[in-house]
């Protein structure tokens, strides 16, 4: 098998893989936040007007959860962009077999 990647090319591919993995972590956090958000809203809906402190805390919590959910949505789009870049780099690699063999793993 021919594999002629230089250090800079390997570092570039490494950074793309690392970025994708980081973004996948955001997606995982967003999935958890979505479940937590539903529970928070249910709890918020069960409050009475006199529960101001708890209501404030729940609203703050819901806003943080929504930010996490939005970050996950954005991460999905970014992952697609990085996967395309990764695929291009692996295809351009002088050792074409590297791109074919390892990109699918």
Q: Residues near 4 by Cβ (< 8 Å), separated by ≥ 6?
A: 93, 94, 95
Q: What is the average per-residue pLDDT within 6-35?
A: 93
Q: What is the average per-residue pLDDT within 26-47?
A: 95
Task: Assign 105 a pLDDT band (cuts: 50, 70, 90).
Answer: very low
Q: What is the pLDDT of residue 51?
A: 93
**Separation CA 99–CA 3 (nearest Å):** 9
Q: Against a cut of 0.85, is the pTM above it?
A: no
């Amino acid at each position: 098998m021919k594999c002629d990647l230089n250090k800079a090319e390997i570092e570039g591919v490494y950074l793309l893989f690392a970025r994708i993995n980081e973004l996948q972590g955001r997606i995982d956090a967003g999935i958890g936040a979505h479940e937590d958000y539903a529970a928070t809203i249910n709890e918020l809906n069960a409050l009475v007007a006199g529960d101001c402190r708890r209501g404030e805390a729940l609203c703050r919590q819901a806003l943080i959860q929504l930010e996490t959910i939005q970050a996950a949505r954005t991460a999905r789009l970014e992952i697609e962009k990085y996967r395309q870049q990764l695929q291009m780099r692996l295809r351009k690699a002088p050792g074409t077999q590297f791109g074919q063999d390892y990109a699918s793993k």
